[in-house]
């Protein structure tokens, strides 16, 4: 993968960030894009934030979307491998992004012998637990709209605008197709995992999220935050500061 294609995966990253010794790679939720992490770029202090953009999303809207983990994970892993020489690597994944982050971290370990120093997963049950989404992509668009209302995070005025819906629903549905392609292959991650959950998340309460401890051979910690499924963005800069602190603590107490 040449550098021009590598940089497509990281559309909001500045040139100087590629040389930063500590990088936080961020994987978005279903229906999101790399832009959800743009505020984090303005708040970064001791890390370089690398929001990941999937083909077919936002800045890459003209590209073919990939609806299968087996296709997209190797490309993400290769792009990250290309920009992480002599780098401490941190992963953050929210909801669908938690699985993308987990799968990518495992592949980096297996194929590139590269360590992810801390995997932070938020708002998603553990990979080995089978909790199907209420919405499946075989259902009507009306069911998808109800699902978006249920989990929150999308303003009602957008969900009631037919023109907007014609644009966003196919994009969101592609993310759900990608999520449905996930199959757990008994992977184990060998670095530490930090799991976050919202106190009012209907799909990923602490009792569901705690099972991430089963998929690491290293340390595991769980922390609850006030909020819904989208608690990371509801807590804004306070949440990002918490992430930076967790990564700094990991640097000071290396266990991997």
Q: What is the mean pLDDT of each run of 10 residues along the chain (256 residues)?
A: 92 95 96 95 96 96 94 98 95 97 98 97 94 83 89 83 89 92 95 97 91 97 95 95 93 56
pLDDT (0 to 100) of residue 101:
98
The domains of the chain are located at 3-243
Which residues are 121's β-sheet partners?
93, 195
Residue whose entry in the numeric block shows the structure tokens 């392609």:
181
CA dihedral sign, ordered 79, 83, 84, 89: negative
Q: Give residue 250's Cα distance to chain centre.
A: 19
CB 101 within 8 Å of CB 124:
no
Q: Read off the pTM.
A: 0.95
Task: Write phi, then psi, for 69 (nearest 5 degrees).
Answer: -55, -35
Residue whose entry in the numeric block shows the structure tokens 């983990």:
69
Q: Give the right CATH number for 3-243 from 3.30.56.10, 3.40.50.1820, 3.10.580.10, 3.40.50.720.
A: 3.40.50.1820
């Amino acid at each position: 993968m040449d550098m021009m294609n590598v940089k497509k995966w990281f559309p909001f990253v500045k040139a100087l960030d590629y040389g930063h010794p500590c990088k936080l790679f961020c994987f978005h939720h279903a229906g999101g894009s790399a832009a959800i992490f743009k505020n984090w770029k303005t708040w970064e202090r001791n890390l370089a934030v690398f929001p990941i953009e999937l083909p077919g999303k936002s800045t890459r809207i003209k590209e073919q979307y990939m609806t299968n983990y087996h296709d997209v994970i190797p490309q993400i892993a290769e792009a990250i491998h290309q920009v992480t020489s002599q780098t401490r690597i941190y992963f953050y994944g929210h909801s669908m992004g938690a699985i993308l982050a987990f799968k990518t971290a495992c592949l980096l370990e297996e194929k590139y012998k590269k360590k992810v120093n801390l995997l932070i997963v938020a708002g998603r049950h553990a990979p080995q637990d089978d909790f199907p989404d209420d919405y499946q992509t075989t259902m009507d668009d009306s069911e998808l709209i109800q699902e978006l209302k249920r989990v929150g995070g999308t303003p009602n005025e957008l969900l009631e605008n037919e023109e907007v819906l014609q644009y966003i629903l196919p994009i969101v549905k592609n993310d759900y197709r990608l999520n449905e392609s996930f199959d757990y292959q008994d992977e184990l991650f060998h670095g530490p995992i930090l799991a976050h959950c919202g106190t009012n998340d209907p799909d990923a309460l602490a009792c569901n999220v705690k099972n991430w401890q089963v998929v690491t051979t290293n340390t595991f910690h769980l922390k609850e935050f006030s909020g819904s499924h989208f608690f990371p963005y509801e807590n804004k800069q306070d949440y990002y500061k918490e992430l930076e602190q967790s990564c700094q603590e990991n640097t000071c107490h290396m266990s991997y």
